[in-house]
């Protein structure tokens, strides 16, 4: 699910989806598969994407935002073994999401008050 739709307005039916949001959903699904599946079977090790499996849209937003801002870089250095050739595409697409997120100003909080705790390893929202 796109970050822009992980909020109460969407769940209340007050936001119509766009083509970009459909594309972002595909990018998140693609990334999830690469991180959690070894070709045709689910991997035994849990990676950062496992944290996205939650029924709480606030938690999902926090986990995905944390992944974009903190976990993508280590994943670039250590791509999933079965998907080494596909992984660069996923990374490029994730950077598109991050750039759009910044461009569209979806993060409208005081960056010191919100982003620093999210990026801090001790903060609950970044724990796997």
Q: What is the pLDDT of residue 108?
A: 52
Distance, in Å, from the CA atom of 112 to the CA atom of 24, rounded to the nearest integer, reads: 27
pLDDT exceeds 70 at position 70: yes
pLDDT exceeds 70 at position 113: no
Contacts with 53 (C-beta within 8 Å, 6 or more apart), sequence order:
none
pLDDT exceeds 80 at position 73: no
The share of the chain scoring above pLDDT 70, in percent, equals: 73
Q: What is the pLDDT of residue 89?
A: 92
Segment 48-57, tens digit of pLDDT? 688 888 888 8
CA distance to 23, 92, 108, per residue, from 26 (Å)? 5, 13, 25
Q: What is the pLDDT of residue 22?
A: 92
> Which residue, among 104, 119, 20, has the nearest Cα to 72 in the 3D structure?
119
- Answer whether 8's CB lies under 8 Å from 22's CB: no
Segment 25-49, tens digit of pLDDT? 999 999 988 888 876 666 555 666 8
Of 6-15, 54-63, 72-81, the one with minimum mean pLDDT is 72-81
Q: What is the pLDDT of residue 23?
A: 93
Higher-confidence position of 123 and 10: 10
């Amino acid at each position: 699910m796109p970050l822009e739709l992980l909020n109460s307005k969407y769940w209340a039916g007050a936001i119509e989806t766009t083509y970009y949001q459909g594309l972002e959903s595909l990018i998140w699904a693609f990334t999830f598969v690469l991180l959690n599946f070894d070709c045709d079977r689910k991997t035994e090790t849990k990676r950062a994407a496992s944290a996205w499996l939650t029924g709480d849209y606030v938690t999902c937003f926090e986990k995905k935002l944390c992944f974009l801002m903190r976990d993508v870089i280590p994943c670039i250095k250590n791509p999933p073994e079965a998907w080494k050739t596909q992984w660069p595409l996923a990374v490029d697409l994730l950077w598109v999401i991050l750039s759009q997120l910044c461009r569209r100003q979806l993060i409208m909080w005081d960056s010191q008050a919100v982003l620093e705790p999210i990026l801090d390893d001790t903060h609950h929202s970044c724990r796997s």
